[in-house]
Amino acid sequence: MKATWILPDGQQTTLDVAEGTSLMQAAVAKGIPGVIGECGGSLSCATCHVVVDPDWAARAGGPLPFETDMLDVTEAERQPTSRLSCQIRMRAELDGIVVHVPQV
């Protein structure tokens, strides 16, 4: 399955992401700039912030209750479709998802 990250400068990177792998893990493994994942996915750093492309927002779903608190402390300002990418796990319906790495 594929996911695409769009950087603040418009550069795009598309990666193969295995089912069950979080978008944070996939991005960190390939060194996508701006996705740090400092806490390793335990919802305590907010450095994996991405803005889900509006076309994919409904399928990706909104933030979980404990995720929404962390989204209030992201470095880049929270957007309506902001998510913490450690909480988005690849699944069939997300094949092709596009997320934006926010400008900080």
Which runs of consecutive H residues, i.e. helices, occur in the chain?
23-29, 54-60, 65-71
Give the residue at shortest CB distance from ligand FES. Answer: 86
Q: Shortest Cβ distance from residue 49 to ligand FES (Å)?
A: 8
Beta strand segments in the chain, E: 2-6, 12-16, 49-52, 82-84, 97-100
Site pattern 7..26 for ligand FES (x: CB under 6 A)? -----------------x--
When binding is defined by CB under 6 A, the residue of 1, 6, 7, 43 that contacts ligand FES is 43
